[in-house]
């Protein structure tokens, strides 16, 4: 029977109810607590490893430490490529009190146009994390650095940060030989080992910088750091130091390289000089040059276009990629081919009526001297650059043997050990013509090849290498640019070196040299004017390459057109004959006036290398050249 | 039926008759109206809390000192409150409840907006507080006072009255919006009704209605509240956003293992991966640095406090004291359960601090005020007319 509300309360019953409920509450508490304990046990015991890993991953970050790039020296230890600190203006937003004020002050201090404030504002927001420095301006001038230093107390959060950038002291002169580094692009990134290149921003793009990229780059290090939730580095947990890249000592001689550059005097051309006995490339110049430092920081579009569209093609490395008909410079090599094949002996002669005719062919292949040189032996054929002798020789050899012998001199293939981007040139053959034009080889074409014309194309480096092998009595030493990588010398004998050229009689070498000496010193020599006053015995050979056609899309004005139709001047030489110390090839595009121009430059090079006290000045050579243009003579 | 077994067994051991009051002299603790066991355990808890707080605050001693001072104030409040007799609270209950209700309405009209919700009432330069915090005590107090006048178990009419007493402030708090606090207020008051002997049929009915009402609740929830629920169901769905807290806190606890990483050595906590590490998520710091062992010690301490509290409540001689004391101590446990459950990822994230360990003044004051009333109820036995 239910009790009414105003009836007596029953304390006993109420206490009992409470106790029952309280007991139940205790049960609930126990159940819920067990639930918590179970959950904690699951997290802390069962899943402990998982969460341990997670928490480690949270806090530990691996940061790459990029290695310093190896330096590049010339053979005398002169620095050719260095890492120069440049200074960047950075801003850490988190530490700046008033961003707008700071930016305005910066623009004021650095005397920048007002518009920069906006650009600064954009750049200051580049970094999402406010404690990471945002780059405001790169490559600060010394004056800027000084001003910032003086006003440092007014600029909390603004820092001048140093960064190492590649710098080439003689950029224009060395640009083609050394190459340059540039920022790694997306394409390169795909092929790179991400571990090695983590933290590296630059990579060798061309030249030595590219070829020796692996050695110069070094090994990246890394450090393990502890970061907080916002990514700020709190401390270093471990560290593997980077291994800096190896310093590279090149075979190049900076002063000879400079001289070669000056000798070419802004003309289009190339000079390559090699030590015959060691294959060391002393100079490898292509002009016009360009400022490779521009490419390190990233060249602006306008400048790049200007370089690309320059009709003198300054970006084109003529020394290794320029294809030139060798002209008469290859006559000594052809003579040697004849000797090797037994087609001629040094004493065999021909009679030159001023032209050559193939059997059953009325066409006359002319000597450059209309009335002919009369009786011509091998030495004289070289000295006077007789064409008829070489028509005969080429015809007697035939294109197959000619091709084989010339290949042995390195024509039509890459010859150097460590020259990046070297072109093969072109040594024509029956097979080549079949493949290229689907035509048979005609005997007349052999005659053209015999005087270094026709399809035959060489690079200045090939011509210098062949000359070095010739000066070295047929012994091939592979041309190279690197002398030492770190402390490790590049071995004298390198793989894939061409086989030596062997003559039946070793004296025959001297007979060829004698012919080459007469080019400069003989009374009939084509470069006798250059040979005046030689203080050592020098052998050489002149050449003229006809310019057949112009590039298609190029527009020239009339004056330029005339200039660009002139012949290329070529010269190859070595000295001293008894113990050759330098072999050199010179090509000056559209120099005209026969080969004298090139010959003078070659002489200046050998003088500079051999006569230490009386090294010629480029200026003197220029004067001689100017005198010479007055009295032009054929080759 | 186990249920009847329990009731029967209780019936067999009737309540000890009240002390005759002849023989025993009052102990010092009785004279100052405090329970030494409960006080001791609370002090241990607060001391341990300060140790964890030092680590959780990023080793800032000033934070620890500030917290210690709050504890000091709150403890003083507790001691003072314990000196009042329960009849005082019984008398003041309608007043406290009415004042609280008025302030809740005031908040609705002129309240300060903080974190997107109107929770604060401010008399500028004087005081700034959350009326809803006060209602955590005032509502169960009112319900207990009301039920004290009824015959128990309560009849339907009484229950309806209680529902109104509870419902109005809970709704007012919920629309601030402060769902967490409103649920805590509601549960504190509902516990009173449950302890009073709400019939099991009715409990079942309400539970069924509640389950049916869940979609309605969902519809009326704010976006951030829904987000919390969704995140709770799948924290990895938004690992850097709303899931971040729970991922980082479970990682902190899990990586602590059995023994923990050591005091001040927790990387999750010290490196700021753990959000709210010195307030709502402080237990994750404990879990990371002291491991499962530390967690179990803390839970044991809480259970002992709850056990002692229930003991005190059930030894109270009158209905009002029992109901209110039981509600205080069980609500205390709910705080612990909800906080630990939330941080360890078995409950959605609701803003419930860990009692007497999380940094913050208001909740400590409320909690210790509650314990003060609890001790008063215990120490003033026989002072109420039967």
Residue A358 tokens read as 């193939």
Please name every residue paired with A238 in a beta bridge, in sequence order, or none if there are none.
A224
Q: Quick one: pLDDT at residue A476?
A: 95
- Does any domain span residue A193? yes
Q: What tens digit of pLDDT does each residue of B213-237 get?
A: 888 878 777 777 777 777 777 766 6
pLDDT at B124 > cutoff 80: no
pLDDT at A126 > cutoff 90: no
For residue A11, count other CB atoms closer than 10 A to its CB.
14
Q: How far apart are CA A63 and CA A227, in angstroms?
A: 11
pLDDT at B80 > cutoff 90: yes
Residue A51 has its nearest CB partner, among B152, B254, B295, at B254
pLDDT at A559 > cutoff 80: no
Give the CATH number of the domain where residue A364 resides: 3.40.710.10
Q: What tens digit of pLDDT does each residue of A562-594 get?
A: 778 888 999 999 999 999 999 999 999 988 766
Task: Determine the average pLDDT of the residues in A322-337.
Answer: 94
Q: Which residues of B touch A20 (CB under 8 A)?
A: 6-7, 10
The alpha-carbon gap from A244 to the nearest alpha carbon of chain B, in Å, equals 34
For residue B284, the chain A residue with the least C-alpha distance is A40
Q: How far apart are CA B261 and CA B255, in angstroms?
A: 8
Residue A52 tokens read as 């341990």
Residues A148 and A197 in one domain: yes
Q: What tens digit of pLDDT does each residue of B279-293 get?
A: 889 999 999 999 999
Q: How far apart are CA B343 and CA B253, in angstroms?
A: 9
Of A5-14, A245-254, A553-562, give the lowest mean pLDDT range.
A553-562
**Which domain, by its residues, includes A87?**
64-250
Q: What is the average pLDDT score of chain A?
A: 87
Q: Quick one: pLDDT at residue B228?
A: 72
* Residue to test with chain B: of A5, A28, A40, A61, most B Cβ within 10 A: A40
Residues A219 and A287 in one domain: no
- Does any domain span residue A54? no
Q: Which of A160-164, A201-205, B26-30 has the highest mean pLDDT?
A: A201-205
Q: What is the average pLDDT score of chain B?
A: 83
The alpha-carbon gap from B325 to the nearest alpha carbon of chain A, in Å, equals 11
Task: Determine the average pLDDT of the residues in A478-503.
Answer: 92
Of A412-421, A560-569, B70-79, B91-100, give the lowest mean pLDDT range.
A560-569
- Does any domain span residue A498? no
Question: End of a domain among A192, A226, A250?
Answer: A250
pLDDT at B10 > cutoff 50: no
- CB-CB under 8 Å, A228 with B273: yes
Residue A76 tokens read as 């005398």
Q: Quick one: pLDDT at residue B225?
A: 74
Q: Quick one: pLDDT at residue B237?
A: 65
Q: Which residues of A touch B298 (CB under 8 A)?
A: none
> Of residues A124 and A347, which shows the higher confidence score?
A347
Percent of chain A residues past pLDDT 90, beyond the cut:
57
**Is A328 among the catalytic positions?**
yes
Task: Determine the average pLDDT of the residues in B50-75.
Answer: 92
pLDDT at B11 > cutoff 80: no
CB A588 within 8 A of CB A601: yes
CB A401 within 8 A of CB A337: yes
Residues A266 and A190 in one domain: no
Q: What tens digit of pLDDT does each residue of B154-183 get?
A: 888 888 899 999 999 998 888 877 777 888
For residue B291, the chain A residue with the least C-alpha distance is A44
Locus of tokens 């009339």:
A558
- Number of structural domains chain A divides into: 2
Triad B55, B369, B356: Cα angle to 5°? 15
Q: Return the number of CB contacts < 8 Å for A and B.
A: 164
Q: Quick one: pLDDT at residue B20?
A: 47
- CB-CB under 8 Å, A13 with B152: yes
Q: How far apart are CA A266 and CA A269, in angstroms?
A: 8
CB B373 within 8 A of CB B263: no
Q: Quick one: pLDDT at residue A485?
A: 94
Of A367-381, B65-79, B178-192, give the lowest mean pLDDT range.
B178-192
Q: What tens digit of pLDDT does each residue of A443-459 get?
A: 999 999 999 988 999 99
- Does any domain span residue A499? no
Question: End of a domain among A250, A268, A302?
Answer: A250
Of the residues A328, A423, A448, A542, only one is catalytic, namely: A328
Q: Quick one: pLDDT at residue B268?
A: 85
Residues A473 and A586 in one domain: yes
pLDDT at A375 > cutoff 90: yes
pLDDT at B150 > cutoff 90: no
Task: Determine the average pLDDT of the residues in A399-408.
Answer: 95
Residues A373 and A331 in one domain: yes
- CB-CB under 8 Å, B254 with A54: yes
Q: Which of A117-126, A269-278, A544-553, B362-371 has the highest mean pLDDT?
A: A269-278
Q: Quick one: pLDDT at residue B385?
A: 45
Residues A372 and A521 in one domain: yes
CB A290 within 8 A of CB A308: no
Q: What is the dihedral of CA A454, A457, A462, A463, to 10 degrees?
A: 40
- CB-CB under 8 Å, A55 with B195: no
- CB-CB under 8 Å, B268 with A16: no
> Of residues A200 and A492, which shows the higher confidence score?
A492
- CB-CB under 8 Å, A15 with B322: yes
Q: How far apart are CA B323 and CA A456, in angstroms?
A: 112
Residues A234 and A344 in one domain: no
Q: What is the dihedral of CA B354, B359, B360, B363, to 10 degrees?
A: 20
Closest CA to A540 of A567, A501, A507, A570: A570
For residue B300, the chain A residue with the least C-alpha distance is A33
Residues A471 and A392 in one domain: yes
CB A635 within 8 A of CB A526: yes
Residues A245 and A262 in one domain: no
Task: Determine the average pLDDT of the residues in A269-286.
Answer: 96
Question: End of a domain among A250, A265, A285?
Answer: A250
CB A51 within 8 A of CB B250: yes
Of A624-633, B38-47, B78-87, give the lowest mean pLDDT range.
A624-633
Q: Which residues of B touch A59 (CB under 8 A)?
A: 267-268, 271, 273
Q: Quick one: pLDDT at residue A575?
A: 93
CB B197 within 8 A of CB B322: no
Confidence of residue B14 (pLDDT cuts 50, 70, 90): very low
pLDDT at A482 > cutoff 90: yes
DSSP-derived 3-state class of residue A556 = coil
Q: Quick one: pLDDT at residue B384?
A: 43
- CB-CB under 8 Å, A18 with B323: yes
């Amino acid at each position: 029977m239910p009790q009414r509300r105003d009836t007596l309360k029953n304390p006993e019953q109420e206490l009992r109810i409470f106790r029952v409920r309280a007991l139940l509450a205790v049960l609930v508490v126990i159940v819920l607590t067990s639930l918590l304990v179970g959950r904690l046990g699951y997290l802390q015991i069962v899943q402990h490893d998982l969460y341990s890993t997670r928490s480690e991953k949270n806090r530990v970050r691996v940061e790459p430490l990029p290695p310093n790039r190896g330096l590049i020296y010339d053979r005398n230890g002169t620095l050719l490529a260095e890492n120069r600190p440049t200074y960047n203006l950075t801003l850490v937003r988190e530490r700046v009190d008033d961003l707008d004020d700071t930016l305005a002050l910066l623009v004021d201090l650095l005397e920048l146009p007002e518009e920069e404030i906006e650009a600064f504002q954009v750049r200051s927001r580049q970094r999402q994390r406010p404690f990471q420095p945002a780059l405001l301006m790169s490559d600060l001038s010394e004056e800027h650095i000084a001003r910032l230093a003086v006003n440092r107390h007014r600029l909390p959060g603004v820092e001048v940060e140093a960064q190492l950038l590649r710098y080439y002291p003689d950029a224009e002169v060395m640009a083609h030989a050394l190459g340059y580094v540039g920022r790694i692009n997306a394409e390169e990134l795909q092929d790179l080992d991400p571990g090695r290149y983590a933290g590296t921003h630059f990579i060798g793009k061309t030249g030595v910088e590219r070829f020796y990229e692996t050695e110069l780059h070094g090994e990246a290090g890394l450090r393990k750091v502890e970061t907080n939730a916002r990514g700020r580095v709190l401390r270093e947990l471990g560290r593997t130091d980077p291994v800096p890249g190896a310093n590279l000592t090149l075979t190049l001689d900076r002063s000879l390289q400079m001289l070669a550059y000056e000798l070419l005097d802004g003309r289009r051309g190339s000079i390559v000089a090699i030590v015959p006995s060691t294959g060391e490339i002393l100079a490898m110049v292509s002009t016009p040059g360009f400022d490779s430092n521009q490419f390190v920081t990233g060249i602006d579009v306008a400048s790049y276009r200007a370089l690309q569209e320059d009709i003198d093609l300054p970006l084109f490395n003529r020394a290794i990629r320029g294809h030139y008909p060798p002209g008469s410079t290859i006559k000594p090599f052809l003579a040697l081919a004849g000797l090797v094949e037994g087609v001629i002996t040094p004493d065999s002669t021909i009679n030159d009526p001023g032209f050559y005719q193939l059997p059953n062919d009325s066409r006359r292949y002319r000597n450059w001297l209309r009335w002919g040189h009369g009786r011509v032996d091998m030495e004289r054929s070289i000295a006077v650059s007789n064409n008829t002798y070489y028509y005969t020789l080429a015809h007697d050899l035939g294109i197959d043997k000619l091709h084989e012998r010339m290949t042995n001199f390195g024509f039509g293939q890459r010859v150097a050990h460590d020259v990046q981007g070297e072109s093969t040139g072109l040594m024509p053959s029956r097979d080549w013509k079949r493949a290229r034009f689907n035509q048979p080889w005609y005997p007349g074409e052999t005659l053209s090849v015999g005087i270094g014309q026709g399809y035959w194309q060489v690079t200045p480096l090939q011509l210098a290498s062949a000359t070095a092998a010739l000066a070295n009595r047929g012994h091939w030493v592979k041309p190279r640019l690197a002398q030492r990588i770190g402390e490790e010398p590049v071995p004298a004998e390198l793989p894939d070196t061409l086989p030596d050229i062997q003559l039946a009689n070793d004296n025959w070498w001297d007979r060829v040299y004698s012919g080459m000496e007469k080019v400069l010193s003989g009374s009939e020599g084509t470069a006798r004017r250059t040979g005046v006053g030689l203080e050592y015995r020098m052998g050489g050979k002149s050449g003229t390459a006809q310019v057949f056609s112009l590039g298609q899309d190029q527009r020239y004005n009339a004056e330029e057109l005339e200039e660009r139709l002139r012949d290329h001047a070529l010269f190859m030489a070595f000295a001293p004959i008894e113990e050759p110390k330098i072999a050199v090839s010179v090509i000056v595009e559209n120099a005209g006036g026969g080969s004298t121009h090139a010959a003078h430059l070659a002489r200046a090079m050998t003088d500079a290398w051999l006569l230490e006290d009386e090294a010629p000045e480029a200026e003197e050579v220029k004067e001689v050249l100017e005198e010479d243009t007055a009295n032009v003579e054929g080759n | 039926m186990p249920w009847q077994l329990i009731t029967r067994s209780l019936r067999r051991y009737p309540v000890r008759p009240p002390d005759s009051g002849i023989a025993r002299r009052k102990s010092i603790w009785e004279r100052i109206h405090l329970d030494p066991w409960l006080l001791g355990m609370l002090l241990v808890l607060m001391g341990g809390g300060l140790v964890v707080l030092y680590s959780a605050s990023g080793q800032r001693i000033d934070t620890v000192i500030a917290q210690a001072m709050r504890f000091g104030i709150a403890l003083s409040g507790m001691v003072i409150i314990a000196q009042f007799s329960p009849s005082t609270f019984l008398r003041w209950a309608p007043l406290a409840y009415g004042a609280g209700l008025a302030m809740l309405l005031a908040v609705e009209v002129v309240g300060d907006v903080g974190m997107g919700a109107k929770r604060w009432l401010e008399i500028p330069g004087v005081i700034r507080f959350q009326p809803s915090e006060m209602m955590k005590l005032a509502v169960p107090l009112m319900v207990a006072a009301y039920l004290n006048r009824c015959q128990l178990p309560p009849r339907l009419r009484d229950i309806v009255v209680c529902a109104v007493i509870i419902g109005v402030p809970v709704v007012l708090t919920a629309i601030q919006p402060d769902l967490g606090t409103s649920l805590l207020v509601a549960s504190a008051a509902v516990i009173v009704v449950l302890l009073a002997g709400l019939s099991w049929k009715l409990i079942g009915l309400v539970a069924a209605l509640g389950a049916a009402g869940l979609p309605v609740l969902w519809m009326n929830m704010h976006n951030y509240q829904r987000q919390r629920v969704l995140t709770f169901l799948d924290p990895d769905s938004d690992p850097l956003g709303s899931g971040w807290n729970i991922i980082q806190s479970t990682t902190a606890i899990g990586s602590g293992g059995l023994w923990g990483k050591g005091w001040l050595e927790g990387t999750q906590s010290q490196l700021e991966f753990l959000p709210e590490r010195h307030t709502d998520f402080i237990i994750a710091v404990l879990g990371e640095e002291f491991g499962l062992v530390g967690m179990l010690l803390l839970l044991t301490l809480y259970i002992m406090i709850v056990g002692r509290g229930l003991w005190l409540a059930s030894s109270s001689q009158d209905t009002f004291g029992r109901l209110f004391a039981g509600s205080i101590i069980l609500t205390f446990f709910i705080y612990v359960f909800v906080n630990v459950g939330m941080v360890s990822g078995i409950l959605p994230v609701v803003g419930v601090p860990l009692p007497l360990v999380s940094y913050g003044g208001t909740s400590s004051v409320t909690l210790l005020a509650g314990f003060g009333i609890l001790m008063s109820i215990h120490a003033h036995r026989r002072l109420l007319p039967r």
